[in-house]
A and B are shown apart, each in its own frame.
Chain A
Amino acid sequence: MIEASLLRFDLLAEDCLLISWPQKIDFEIVMEVRALSEYLNSLTEVLETVPAYASLAVYFDMMNCTSQHIQSLVLNNVSALKTQDLQAKTWVIPVCYDRTFGLDHDRFWEQCKIDISQIIELHTGQSFTVYMRGFQPGFLYLGTLPKELNLPRLENPRSKVEAGSVGIANDQTGIYPLESPGGWNIIGRTPIKLFDLDNTDPTPIKQGDKVRFEPIDLLAYHSLKAESHVPTIA
Protein backbone atom coordinates (compact mmCIF):
# COMPACT_ATOMS: atom_id res chain seq x y z
CA MET A 1 0.00 0.00 0.00
CA ILE A 2 0.95 3.62 -0.44
CA GLU A 3 3.31 5.45 1.84
CA ALA A 4 1.17 7.26 4.37
CA SER A 5 3.28 10.38 3.96
CA LEU A 6 1.93 10.80 0.41
CA LEU A 7 -1.65 11.09 1.64
CA ARG A 8 -3.11 14.53 2.25
CA PHE A 9 -5.87 15.19 4.78
CA ASP A 10 -8.40 18.03 4.65
CA LEU A 11 -11.66 18.70 6.42
CA LEU A 12 -14.30 18.85 3.65
CA ALA A 13 -17.13 19.57 6.13
CA GLU A 14 -17.55 19.48 9.91
CA ASP A 15 -18.34 15.76 9.68
CA CYS A 16 -16.25 14.82 6.64
CA LEU A 17 -12.53 14.04 6.36
CA LEU A 18 -11.12 14.15 2.84
CA ILE A 19 -8.15 11.91 2.02
CA SER A 20 -6.29 12.73 -1.20
CA TRP A 21 -3.67 10.70 -3.06
CA PRO A 22 -1.37 12.25 -5.67
CA GLN A 23 -3.90 13.38 -8.28
CA LYS A 24 -3.48 11.09 -11.26
CA ILE A 25 -5.40 8.31 -13.00
CA ASP A 26 -3.64 5.20 -11.84
CA PHE A 27 -5.00 1.69 -11.38
CA GLU A 28 -2.97 1.07 -8.22
CA ILE A 29 -4.31 4.28 -6.61
CA VAL A 30 -7.88 3.32 -7.55
CA MET A 31 -7.41 -0.02 -5.77
CA GLU A 32 -5.91 1.72 -2.74
CA VAL A 33 -8.88 4.07 -2.52
CA ARG A 34 -11.17 1.04 -2.62
CA ALA A 35 -9.17 -0.86 -0.01
CA LEU A 36 -9.13 2.10 2.38
CA SER A 37 -12.83 2.75 1.73
CA GLU A 38 -13.74 -0.86 2.56
CA TYR A 39 -11.63 -0.75 5.73
CA LEU A 40 -13.17 2.54 6.92
CA ASN A 41 -16.71 1.39 6.15
CA SER A 42 -16.20 -1.49 8.56
CA LEU A 43 -15.70 0.94 11.48
CA THR A 44 -18.67 2.04 13.60
CA GLU A 45 -17.41 5.65 13.78
CA VAL A 46 -17.63 5.93 9.99
CA LEU A 47 -21.09 6.67 8.56
CA GLU A 48 -20.27 6.45 4.86
CA THR A 49 -17.49 7.02 2.34
CA VAL A 50 -17.37 8.57 -1.10
CA PRO A 51 -14.52 7.10 -3.17
CA ALA A 52 -13.26 8.97 -6.25
CA TYR A 53 -10.31 8.50 -8.66
CA ALA A 54 -7.62 9.47 -6.20
CA SER A 55 -9.49 10.72 -3.16
CA LEU A 56 -11.87 9.47 -0.53
CA ALA A 57 -14.40 11.43 1.54
CA VAL A 58 -15.10 9.89 4.94
CA TYR A 59 -18.27 10.97 6.78
CA PHE A 60 -18.04 10.31 10.50
CA ASP A 61 -20.22 10.66 13.57
CA MET A 62 -19.40 14.26 14.46
CA MET A 63 -20.93 14.04 17.95
CA ASN A 64 -18.82 11.08 19.10
CA CYS A 65 -15.70 11.15 16.99
CA THR A 66 -13.18 13.62 15.53
CA SER A 67 -11.48 13.89 12.16
CA GLN A 68 -8.13 13.52 13.97
CA HIS A 69 -9.26 10.13 15.25
CA ILE A 70 -10.16 8.95 11.72
CA GLN A 71 -6.88 10.35 10.41
CA SER A 72 -4.82 8.46 12.96
CA LEU A 73 -6.71 5.24 12.21
CA VAL A 74 -5.85 5.71 8.54
CA LEU A 75 -2.19 6.46 9.23
CA ASN A 76 -1.83 3.49 11.56
CA ASN A 77 -3.55 0.98 9.31
CA VAL A 78 -2.88 2.06 5.76
CA SER A 79 0.41 0.18 5.38
CA ALA A 80 -1.21 -3.13 6.36
CA LEU A 81 -3.97 -2.89 3.73
CA LYS A 82 -3.40 -5.11 0.72
CA THR A 83 -4.96 -4.30 -2.61
CA GLN A 84 -4.33 -7.90 -3.77
CA ASP A 85 -6.95 -9.10 -1.27
CA LEU A 86 -9.73 -7.14 -2.96
CA GLN A 87 -12.30 -9.20 -4.83
CA ALA A 88 -12.28 -7.28 -8.10
CA LYS A 89 -14.78 -8.67 -10.58
CA THR A 90 -15.23 -8.45 -14.34
CA TRP A 91 -18.72 -7.54 -15.58
CA VAL A 92 -20.25 -7.90 -19.03
CA ILE A 93 -22.55 -5.10 -20.17
CA PRO A 94 -24.47 -5.52 -23.42
CA VAL A 95 -24.62 -2.38 -25.57
CA CYS A 96 -26.63 -1.72 -28.71
CA TYR A 97 -24.59 0.55 -30.99
CA ASP A 98 -27.46 1.07 -33.45
CA ARG A 99 -27.71 4.53 -35.05
CA THR A 100 -30.98 5.18 -33.20
CA PHE A 101 -28.99 5.21 -29.96
CA GLY A 102 -25.57 6.32 -31.20
CA LEU A 103 -26.36 10.02 -31.42
CA ASP A 104 -22.76 11.08 -31.95
CA HIS A 105 -21.48 8.47 -34.42
CA ASP A 106 -21.11 11.24 -37.02
CA ARG A 107 -18.85 13.27 -34.76
CA PHE A 108 -16.46 10.33 -34.55
CA TRP A 109 -16.43 10.12 -38.34
CA GLU A 110 -15.90 13.88 -38.72
CA GLN A 111 -13.28 14.31 -36.02
CA CYS A 112 -11.60 10.90 -35.63
CA LYS A 113 -12.25 9.39 -39.05
CA ILE A 114 -13.65 6.18 -37.63
CA ASP A 115 -16.98 4.62 -38.57
CA ILE A 116 -19.54 2.65 -36.55
CA SER A 117 -17.89 -0.72 -37.08
CA GLN A 118 -14.56 0.68 -35.85
CA ILE A 119 -16.23 2.30 -32.83
CA ILE A 120 -17.76 -1.06 -31.90
CA GLU A 121 -14.49 -2.92 -32.46
CA LEU A 122 -12.51 -0.51 -30.29
CA HIS A 123 -15.14 -0.18 -27.57
CA THR A 124 -15.75 -3.92 -27.18
CA GLY A 125 -12.20 -5.08 -27.87
CA GLN A 126 -10.87 -4.81 -24.31
CA SER A 127 -12.10 -4.52 -20.74
CA PHE A 128 -12.03 -1.20 -18.92
CA THR A 129 -11.39 -0.32 -15.29
CA VAL A 130 -14.13 1.27 -13.15
CA TYR A 131 -12.27 4.35 -11.87
CA MET A 132 -15.19 5.59 -9.82
CA ARG A 133 -18.94 5.81 -9.49
CA GLY A 134 -20.72 9.04 -8.94
CA PHE A 135 -21.74 12.47 -10.13
CA GLN A 136 -25.23 10.97 -10.42
CA PRO A 137 -26.66 7.73 -9.00
CA GLY A 138 -24.82 4.74 -10.44
CA PHE A 139 -22.84 6.64 -13.10
CA LEU A 140 -19.68 4.66 -13.95
CA TYR A 141 -16.43 6.27 -15.09
CA LEU A 142 -14.45 3.73 -17.09
CA GLY A 143 -11.11 3.81 -18.87
CA THR A 144 -8.74 4.05 -20.41
CA LEU A 145 -9.96 4.16 -24.01
CA PRO A 146 -7.65 3.52 -26.97
CA LYS A 147 -6.41 6.81 -28.48
CA GLU A 148 -8.49 6.41 -31.66
CA LEU A 149 -11.70 6.76 -29.62
CA ASN A 150 -10.74 9.91 -27.72
CA LEU A 151 -13.16 12.75 -28.35
CA PRO A 152 -13.77 15.80 -26.13
CA ARG A 153 -17.14 16.37 -24.52
CA LEU A 154 -19.85 18.26 -26.44
CA GLU A 155 -19.51 22.01 -26.22
CA ASN A 156 -23.21 22.32 -25.50
CA PRO A 157 -24.36 19.49 -23.27
CA ARG A 158 -27.73 17.91 -24.12
CA SER A 159 -30.50 18.82 -21.73
CA LYS A 160 -31.69 15.21 -21.84
CA VAL A 161 -29.71 11.99 -22.27
CA GLU A 162 -31.74 8.76 -22.08
CA ALA A 163 -31.17 6.24 -19.31
CA GLY A 164 -28.69 3.53 -20.33
CA SER A 165 -26.79 5.79 -22.74
CA VAL A 166 -23.12 4.92 -23.17
CA GLY A 167 -20.87 7.90 -23.77
CA ILE A 168 -17.29 8.95 -24.39
CA ALA A 169 -15.44 11.96 -23.02
CA ASN A 170 -11.75 12.21 -23.90
CA ASP A 171 -10.09 8.95 -22.86
CA GLN A 172 -12.99 7.74 -20.69
CA THR A 173 -16.26 6.00 -21.31
CA GLY A 174 -19.27 6.13 -19.04
CA ILE A 175 -22.84 4.96 -18.64
CA TYR A 176 -25.80 7.15 -17.70
CA PRO A 177 -27.99 4.88 -15.55
CA LEU A 178 -30.77 7.48 -15.34
CA GLU A 179 -32.14 10.05 -17.72
CA SER A 180 -30.28 13.30 -17.14
CA PRO A 181 -28.58 16.22 -18.85
CA GLY A 182 -25.17 15.25 -20.22
CA GLY A 183 -22.24 16.31 -22.36
CA TRP A 184 -20.61 12.99 -23.27
CA ASN A 185 -20.57 11.75 -26.90
CA ILE A 186 -23.25 9.07 -27.04
CA ILE A 187 -22.33 5.91 -28.98
CA GLY A 188 -24.95 3.39 -27.84
CA ARG A 189 -27.31 2.25 -25.15
CA THR A 190 -27.48 -0.63 -22.70
CA PRO A 191 -30.81 -2.28 -21.87
CA ILE A 192 -29.72 -3.42 -18.41
CA LYS A 193 -30.53 -1.76 -15.12
CA LEU A 194 -27.47 -0.16 -13.53
CA PHE A 195 -29.16 1.48 -10.56
CA ASP A 196 -31.68 -0.77 -8.88
CA LEU A 197 -33.90 0.95 -6.32
CA ASP A 198 -35.15 -2.39 -5.01
CA ASN A 199 -31.69 -3.54 -3.99
CA THR A 200 -29.84 -2.29 -0.89
CA ASP A 201 -26.69 -2.58 -3.01
CA PRO A 202 -28.15 -0.67 -5.98
CA THR A 203 -25.02 -0.95 -8.13
CA PRO A 204 -23.05 -4.20 -7.73
CA ILE A 205 -20.25 -2.83 -9.96
CA LYS A 206 -17.55 -1.39 -7.73
CA GLN A 207 -14.56 0.87 -8.12
CA GLY A 208 -11.61 -1.18 -9.38
CA ASP A 209 -13.81 -3.80 -11.09
CA LYS A 210 -13.51 -4.38 -14.85
CA VAL A 211 -16.25 -3.94 -17.42
CA ARG A 212 -16.38 -5.48 -20.89
CA PHE A 213 -18.95 -4.27 -23.42
CA GLU A 214 -20.73 -6.78 -25.62
CA PRO A 215 -22.35 -5.63 -28.87
CA ILE A 216 -26.03 -6.54 -29.34
CA ASP A 217 -28.55 -5.70 -32.05
CA LEU A 218 -31.84 -3.83 -31.68
CA LEU A 219 -33.84 -7.02 -31.32
CA ALA A 220 -31.69 -8.26 -28.45
CA TYR A 221 -31.79 -4.78 -26.91
CA HIS A 222 -35.58 -4.78 -26.78
CA SER A 223 -35.89 -8.31 -25.45
CA LEU A 224 -33.30 -7.70 -22.70
CA LYS A 225 -34.94 -4.38 -21.86
CA ALA A 226 -38.33 -6.07 -21.47
CA GLU A 227 -36.83 -8.59 -19.05
CA SER A 228 -35.18 -5.83 -16.96
CA HIS A 229 -31.75 -7.44 -16.60
CA VAL A 230 -29.04 -6.54 -14.13
CA PRO A 231 -25.27 -6.71 -14.80
CA THR A 232 -23.68 -10.16 -14.99
CA ILE A 233 -20.24 -11.38 -14.02
CA ALA A 234 -18.01 -12.55 -16.87
Chain B
Amino acid sequence: MSQPLLKVIKSGTMSTIQDGGRHGYRGYGLPTSGFMDMVSAYQANEIVGNQRNGSLIEMIQVGATLKFLQDCAIAITGANMSAMLNGQIVQRYQQISVKSGDQLSFGLAKSNMIGYLAIGGQWHIDAIFGSTATYARAALGGIKGRPLKVGDEISITPSKNKHHHFPEHKIWSYEPGRVLRLIKGPECTQEMTKWLERSTFKVSNQWDRMGVRLKTETPLLKETFLLSCPLAVGTIQLPPDGQPIAVMADGQTTGGYPRLGTIIKADIAYLAQQKPGTTLRFAFVEASYAINIAKWVF
Protein backbone atom coordinates (compact mmCIF):
# COMPACT_ATOMS: atom_id res chain seq x y z
CA MET B 1 0.00 0.00 0.00
CA SER B 2 1.34 3.38 -0.90
CA GLN B 3 1.50 6.34 1.43
CA PRO B 4 -1.47 8.66 1.88
CA LEU B 5 -1.07 11.88 -0.06
CA LEU B 6 -4.17 13.74 1.03
CA LYS B 7 -6.03 14.12 4.30
CA VAL B 8 -9.52 15.58 4.62
CA ILE B 9 -9.67 18.39 7.20
CA LYS B 10 -13.19 19.63 6.31
CA SER B 11 -15.49 17.67 4.02
CA GLY B 12 -17.61 20.39 2.39
CA THR B 13 -21.26 19.82 1.38
CA MET B 14 -20.89 16.90 -1.00
CA SER B 15 -17.32 16.06 -1.96
CA THR B 16 -16.89 12.73 -3.70
CA ILE B 17 -14.35 10.81 -5.67
CA GLN B 18 -15.57 10.57 -9.27
CA ASP B 19 -14.22 9.45 -12.62
CA GLY B 20 -15.48 8.91 -16.18
CA GLY B 21 -18.22 6.61 -14.83
CA ARG B 22 -19.25 3.01 -14.47
CA HIS B 23 -20.22 1.67 -17.86
CA GLY B 24 -21.86 -1.61 -18.82
CA TYR B 25 -24.24 -1.96 -15.86
CA ARG B 26 -27.16 0.26 -16.80
CA GLY B 27 -29.03 -2.87 -17.81
CA TYR B 28 -28.90 -3.93 -14.14
CA GLY B 29 -30.37 -0.60 -13.10
CA LEU B 30 -27.00 0.81 -12.05
CA PRO B 31 -26.43 4.41 -13.18
CA THR B 32 -23.05 5.36 -14.62
CA SER B 33 -22.34 8.02 -11.95
CA GLY B 34 -19.08 9.86 -12.65
CA PHE B 35 -18.43 13.54 -13.38
CA MET B 36 -21.48 15.84 -13.35
CA ASP B 37 -19.58 18.41 -15.46
CA MET B 38 -17.52 16.26 -17.80
CA VAL B 39 -15.88 19.26 -19.47
CA SER B 40 -14.34 20.80 -16.33
CA ALA B 41 -13.34 17.38 -14.99
CA TYR B 42 -11.56 16.39 -18.23
CA GLN B 43 -9.73 19.71 -18.21
CA ALA B 44 -8.55 19.28 -14.59
CA ASN B 45 -7.15 15.84 -15.38
CA GLU B 46 -5.56 17.10 -18.59
CA ILE B 47 -3.72 19.90 -16.76
CA VAL B 48 -2.07 17.50 -14.30
CA GLY B 49 -1.28 14.94 -17.00
CA ASN B 50 -3.77 12.26 -15.88
CA GLN B 51 -6.08 10.33 -18.20
CA ARG B 52 -9.16 12.47 -18.67
CA ASN B 53 -11.47 9.78 -17.26
CA GLY B 54 -9.26 9.34 -14.19
CA SER B 55 -10.24 9.78 -10.54
CA LEU B 56 -10.48 13.22 -9.01
CA ILE B 57 -12.42 15.05 -6.30
CA GLU B 58 -15.74 16.63 -7.22
CA MET B 59 -17.08 19.25 -4.79
CA ILE B 60 -20.64 20.56 -4.84
CA GLN B 61 -21.66 23.96 -3.44
CA VAL B 62 -19.18 24.24 -0.54
CA GLY B 63 -15.76 22.74 -1.11
CA ALA B 64 -13.46 20.77 1.19
CA THR B 65 -10.32 21.65 3.12
CA LEU B 66 -7.46 19.27 2.45
CA LYS B 67 -3.95 18.75 3.75
CA PHE B 68 -1.19 17.42 1.52
CA LEU B 69 1.14 14.79 2.97
CA GLN B 70 3.46 14.61 -0.07
CA ASP B 71 4.67 16.97 -2.81
CA CYS B 72 2.52 16.82 -5.94
CA ALA B 73 0.94 18.77 -8.84
CA ILE B 74 -2.72 19.77 -8.74
CA ALA B 75 -5.29 21.60 -10.88
CA ILE B 76 -8.57 23.25 -9.92
CA THR B 77 -11.37 23.73 -12.47
CA GLY B 78 -15.12 24.35 -12.62
CA ALA B 79 -16.90 26.68 -10.20
CA ASN B 80 -14.92 29.40 -8.42
CA MET B 81 -14.85 28.22 -4.79
CA SER B 82 -12.27 30.80 -3.66
CA ALA B 83 -9.50 28.23 -3.39
CA MET B 84 -6.70 29.19 -0.97
CA LEU B 85 -3.36 27.44 -0.59
CA ASN B 86 -1.95 28.13 2.88
CA GLY B 87 -4.19 31.19 3.03
CA GLN B 88 -3.11 32.58 -0.38
CA ILE B 89 -5.54 32.77 -3.30
CA VAL B 90 -4.73 30.27 -6.06
CA GLN B 91 -5.81 30.40 -9.68
CA ARG B 92 -7.94 27.83 -11.45
CA TYR B 93 -7.09 26.17 -14.78
CA GLN B 94 -3.36 25.92 -14.22
CA GLN B 95 -0.93 23.42 -12.78
CA ILE B 96 0.06 24.22 -9.20
CA SER B 97 2.93 22.61 -7.32
CA VAL B 98 2.13 21.85 -3.70
CA LYS B 99 4.44 20.71 -0.93
CA SER B 100 3.97 18.22 1.85
CA GLY B 101 2.25 20.04 4.73
CA ASP B 102 0.41 22.53 2.51
CA GLN B 103 -3.26 23.12 3.20
CA LEU B 104 -5.81 23.78 0.42
CA SER B 105 -9.22 25.15 1.30
CA PHE B 106 -12.33 25.73 -0.79
CA GLY B 107 -15.31 27.89 0.16
CA LEU B 108 -18.79 28.44 -1.26
CA ALA B 109 -19.13 28.17 -5.02
CA LYS B 110 -19.65 31.73 -6.16
CA SER B 111 -21.55 31.78 -9.42
CA ASN B 112 -21.74 28.07 -10.28
CA MET B 113 -22.16 24.75 -8.45
CA ILE B 114 -19.30 22.28 -8.89
CA GLY B 115 -15.54 22.49 -8.45
CA TYR B 116 -12.96 19.86 -9.42
CA LEU B 117 -9.60 19.08 -7.91
CA ALA B 118 -7.27 16.86 -9.92
CA ILE B 119 -4.00 15.53 -8.52
CA GLY B 120 -1.34 14.22 -10.90
CA GLY B 121 -0.48 10.57 -10.34
CA GLN B 122 -1.83 7.12 -9.68
CA TRP B 123 -4.86 7.03 -7.37
CA HIS B 124 -5.16 3.96 -5.16
CA ILE B 125 -8.91 3.59 -4.93
CA ASP B 126 -10.61 0.20 -5.37
CA ALA B 127 -12.59 0.13 -8.60
CA ILE B 128 -16.06 -1.43 -8.45
CA PHE B 129 -17.31 -2.69 -11.80
CA GLY B 130 -14.38 -0.90 -13.40
CA SER B 131 -14.88 2.51 -11.85
CA THR B 132 -13.92 4.47 -8.72
CA ALA B 133 -16.94 6.80 -9.06
CA THR B 134 -18.86 7.22 -5.80
CA TYR B 135 -22.53 6.20 -6.03
CA ALA B 136 -23.70 6.98 -2.52
CA ARG B 137 -27.25 5.59 -2.91
CA ALA B 138 -25.89 2.08 -3.37
CA ALA B 139 -22.88 2.78 -1.12
CA LEU B 140 -20.35 1.88 -3.78
CA GLY B 141 -17.19 3.41 -5.22
CA GLY B 142 -14.93 6.13 -3.81
CA ILE B 143 -14.15 5.75 -0.13
CA LYS B 144 -16.57 3.22 1.41
CA GLY B 145 -19.23 4.31 -1.08
CA ARG B 146 -19.83 7.65 0.58
CA PRO B 147 -18.86 11.32 0.29
CA LEU B 148 -15.55 12.36 1.88
CA LYS B 149 -15.47 12.71 5.66
CA VAL B 150 -13.12 14.49 8.04
CA GLY B 151 -10.07 12.33 8.64
CA ASP B 152 -10.28 10.38 5.36
CA GLU B 153 -6.91 9.74 3.75
CA ILE B 154 -6.42 9.18 0.04
CA SER B 155 -3.40 7.31 -1.30
CA ILE B 156 -1.95 8.63 -4.53
CA THR B 157 1.48 7.99 -6.01
CA PRO B 158 2.35 11.41 -7.42
CA SER B 159 3.73 11.58 -10.93
CA LYS B 160 6.55 13.83 -12.09
CA ASN B 161 4.71 16.21 -14.35
CA LYS B 162 5.92 18.51 -17.04
CA HIS B 163 4.58 21.98 -16.92
CA HIS B 164 1.28 22.16 -18.78
CA HIS B 165 0.03 25.39 -20.21
CA PHE B 166 -3.76 25.52 -20.47
CA PRO B 167 -4.80 28.34 -22.81
CA GLU B 168 -7.44 30.65 -21.40
CA HIS B 169 -9.68 30.43 -24.47
CA LYS B 170 -10.32 26.76 -23.68
CA ILE B 171 -12.09 27.64 -20.43
CA TRP B 172 -15.84 27.23 -20.84
CA SER B 173 -18.21 29.97 -19.81
CA TYR B 174 -20.96 28.88 -17.45
CA GLU B 175 -22.58 32.32 -17.34
CA PRO B 176 -26.37 32.00 -16.99
CA GLY B 177 -28.58 32.82 -19.96
CA ARG B 178 -27.67 30.15 -22.48
CA VAL B 179 -30.30 28.13 -24.30
CA LEU B 180 -29.97 24.39 -23.64
CA ARG B 181 -30.11 22.23 -26.75
CA LEU B 182 -32.23 19.08 -26.83
CA ILE B 183 -32.63 16.00 -28.98
CA LYS B 184 -36.37 15.37 -29.28
CA GLY B 185 -37.74 12.58 -27.09
CA PRO B 186 -40.04 9.75 -28.20
CA GLU B 187 -43.12 11.02 -26.31
CA CYS B 188 -42.69 14.69 -27.15
CA THR B 189 -45.86 15.88 -28.90
CA GLN B 190 -46.22 19.06 -30.92
CA GLU B 191 -47.90 20.69 -27.92
CA MET B 192 -45.01 19.69 -25.65
CA THR B 193 -42.45 20.95 -28.17
CA LYS B 194 -44.06 24.39 -28.35
CA TRP B 195 -44.47 24.57 -24.58
CA LEU B 196 -40.87 23.58 -23.90
CA GLU B 197 -39.43 26.05 -26.41
CA ARG B 198 -41.65 28.95 -25.35
CA SER B 199 -41.54 28.60 -21.56
CA THR B 200 -38.98 29.91 -19.13
CA PHE B 201 -37.69 27.51 -16.47
CA LYS B 202 -35.77 27.96 -13.27
CA VAL B 203 -33.40 25.49 -11.63
CA SER B 204 -35.17 24.49 -8.37
CA ASN B 205 -33.73 23.53 -4.97
CA GLN B 206 -34.49 19.88 -5.74
CA TRP B 207 -31.00 19.44 -7.05
CA ASP B 208 -28.68 16.49 -6.48
CA ARG B 209 -26.46 14.09 -8.38
CA MET B 210 -29.57 12.09 -9.42
CA GLY B 211 -31.47 14.86 -11.08
CA VAL B 212 -32.33 18.50 -11.39
CA ARG B 213 -35.95 19.50 -10.97
CA LEU B 214 -36.95 22.53 -13.06
CA LYS B 215 -39.74 24.95 -12.27
CA THR B 216 -41.96 27.00 -14.48
CA GLU B 217 -44.91 29.29 -13.79
CA THR B 218 -46.70 27.72 -16.74
CA PRO B 219 -46.59 23.96 -16.04
CA LEU B 220 -47.92 21.60 -18.70
CA LEU B 221 -50.25 19.19 -16.90
CA LYS B 222 -50.40 15.74 -18.46
CA GLU B 223 -51.52 12.63 -16.61
CA THR B 224 -49.42 10.35 -18.78
CA PHE B 225 -47.78 7.23 -17.39
CA LEU B 226 -45.70 4.93 -19.53
CA LEU B 227 -44.53 1.38 -19.17
CA SER B 228 -41.12 1.81 -17.55
CA CYS B 229 -38.66 2.67 -20.30
CA PRO B 230 -34.97 3.63 -20.58
CA LEU B 231 -33.66 7.10 -19.70
CA ALA B 232 -30.27 8.58 -20.61
CA VAL B 233 -28.26 11.10 -18.62
CA GLY B 234 -29.74 14.43 -19.72
CA THR B 235 -33.23 13.07 -20.47
CA ILE B 236 -35.99 15.47 -19.44
CA GLN B 237 -39.13 13.80 -18.12
CA LEU B 238 -42.53 15.41 -17.60
CA PRO B 239 -44.23 14.24 -14.38
CA PRO B 240 -47.96 14.92 -13.83
CA ASP B 241 -47.31 18.19 -11.94
CA GLY B 242 -45.93 19.69 -15.14
CA GLN B 243 -42.51 20.58 -13.69
CA PRO B 244 -39.82 18.77 -15.71
CA ILE B 245 -36.93 16.73 -14.25
CA ALA B 246 -33.53 16.33 -15.91
CA VAL B 247 -31.74 13.03 -15.24
CA MET B 248 -28.15 13.56 -14.05
CA ALA B 249 -25.13 11.27 -13.46
CA ASP B 250 -26.60 9.22 -10.57
CA GLY B 251 -30.10 9.24 -12.07
CA GLN B 252 -32.47 6.34 -12.66
CA THR B 253 -31.79 4.19 -15.71
CA THR B 254 -35.52 3.79 -16.40
CA GLY B 255 -38.62 5.85 -15.74
CA GLY B 256 -42.31 6.13 -16.44
CA TYR B 257 -43.02 9.75 -17.39
CA PRO B 258 -43.05 11.13 -20.94
CA ARG B 259 -39.55 11.79 -22.27
CA LEU B 260 -39.57 15.29 -23.77
CA GLY B 261 -36.00 15.11 -24.97
CA THR B 262 -32.38 14.67 -23.94
CA ILE B 263 -30.01 17.57 -23.36
CA ILE B 264 -27.00 17.31 -25.66
CA LYS B 265 -23.81 16.17 -23.91
CA ALA B 266 -22.05 19.52 -24.20
CA ASP B 267 -24.95 21.26 -22.46
CA ILE B 268 -25.32 18.72 -19.62
CA ALA B 269 -22.07 20.14 -18.21
CA TYR B 270 -23.59 23.61 -18.41
CA LEU B 271 -26.82 22.56 -16.65
CA ALA B 272 -24.81 20.83 -13.89
CA GLN B 273 -23.08 24.13 -13.15
CA GLN B 274 -26.26 26.23 -12.79
CA LYS B 275 -27.34 27.21 -9.30
CA PRO B 276 -30.94 26.92 -8.06
CA GLY B 277 -32.82 30.01 -9.20
CA THR B 278 -31.01 30.32 -12.54
CA THR B 279 -33.30 30.87 -15.53
CA LEU B 280 -33.11 28.37 -18.41
CA ARG B 281 -34.63 28.06 -21.86
CA PHE B 282 -34.64 25.13 -24.28
CA ALA B 283 -34.44 24.62 -28.03
CA PHE B 284 -34.63 21.41 -30.03
CA VAL B 285 -31.82 20.61 -32.45
CA GLU B 286 -31.43 18.00 -35.18
CA ALA B 287 -29.86 14.73 -34.06
CA SER B 288 -27.06 15.04 -36.64
CA TYR B 289 -26.14 18.49 -35.30
CA ALA B 290 -26.01 17.14 -31.73
CA ILE B 291 -23.78 14.24 -32.80
CA ASN B 292 -21.37 16.56 -34.62
CA ILE B 293 -21.03 18.78 -31.55
CA ALA B 294 -20.50 15.78 -29.27
CA LYS B 295 -17.75 14.43 -31.53
CA TRP B 296 -16.09 17.81 -31.65
CA VAL B 297 -16.24 18.48 -27.90
CA PHE B 298 -15.47 15.01 -26.50
Contacts and interface: CB of A to CB of B under 8 A. Distances in A.
B234 A13 contact: yes
B166 interface: no
Interface string B38-63: 00000000000000000000000000
A188 interface: no
Which of A25, A47, A137 has its CB near the most chain B CB atoms (within 10 A)? A137
Nearest to B230: A57
Contact of B254 (A24, A52, A138, A200): A52
A225 B10 CA distance: 37
A50 to B, nearest CB: 4
Chain A residues touching B, range: 35 or more
B137 A48 contact: no
A202 B294 contact: no
A177 B6 CA distance: 34
Which of A59, A141, A200 has its CB near the most chain B CB atoms (within 10 A)? A59
B24 A47 contact: yes
Interface in B105-143: 128-129, 137-138, 140
B252 A135 contact: yes
Contacts of A8: 186
Given A18-B230, A48-B26, A134 B128 contact: no
A178 interface: yes
Contacts of B24: 47-48
A132 B295 contact: no
Given A13-B265, A14-B290, A178-B137, A133 B129 contact: no
A23 interface: yes
A11 B183 contact: yes
A15 B290 CA distance: 10
Contacts of B264: 14
A57 to B, nearest CB: 4
Interface in B247-262: 252-255, 259, 262
Contact of B26 (A59, A66, A132, A178): A59
Interface string B180-217: 00010110000000000000000000000000000000
Interface of B: 23-30, 128-129, 137-138, 140, 183, 185-186, 226-235, 252-255, 259, 262, 264-265, 287, 290-291, 294-295
Given A52-B230, A54-B229, 14 more contacts: A14-B290, A18-B230, A23-B226, A37-B27, A47-B24, A48-B24, A50-B26, A52-B229, A52-B254, A132-B228, A133-B27, A134-B228, A135-B228, A135-B252
29 contacts: A8-B186, A11-B287, A12-B186, A12-B230, A12-B232, A12-B259, A13-B183, A13-B234, A13-B262, A13-B265, A14-B265, A16-B230, A16-B232, A25-B227, A37-B27, A48-B26, A50-B230, A52-B229, A59-B23, A67-B287, A132-B228, A134-B27, A134-B29, A134-B254, A135-B228, A136-B29, A195-B138, A200-B129, A202-B30
